[in-house]
Amino acid sequence: TQLLEQSPQFLSIQEGENLTVYCNSSSVFSSLQWYRQEPGEGPVLLVTVVTGGEVKKLKRLTFQFGDARKDSSLHITAAQPGDTGLYLCAGDYSWGKLQFGAGTQVVVTP
């Protein structure tokens, strides 16, 4: 099993602050995906990173894939209450088979 460790497990911040979530593994992945999940709903794909060292920006969200394709980070600038949710990283280890991390619960208070 290719383990993906996410940190921190829980993050509570005030609106306007920045935050970073980390996803680490000892395994190499062909790609890595970040999802956000609301309570009682399925995960929604935010981004897929494929190339080592790749950086993708989605409005206030910045995603980075490590050079060795073993780790990734998600940075949110000026967080808003709407950013509240469970952030999951998932590594593709074999033709679309995903290994998920346990998630980081982010709470942004007004």
The Cα 102–Cα 5 span in angstroms is 7
Asked if 102 is part of the footprint of other proteins (rule: CB under 8 A), the reply reads yes
- Restricting to residues 22-61, which ones interact with other proteins according to CB under 8 A? 31, 35, 40-45, 48
The only residue of 34, 103, 106, 108 in contact with other proteins, by rule CB under 8 A: 103
DSSP 28-85: --SEEEEEEE-TTS--EEEEEE-STT-EEEETTEEEEE-TTSSEEEEEESS--GGG-E
- By CB under 8 A, the count of residues binding other proteins is 21
What is the binding site for other proteins (CB under 8 A)?
A: 4, 31, 35, 40-45, 48, 88, 90, 92, 95-98, 100-103
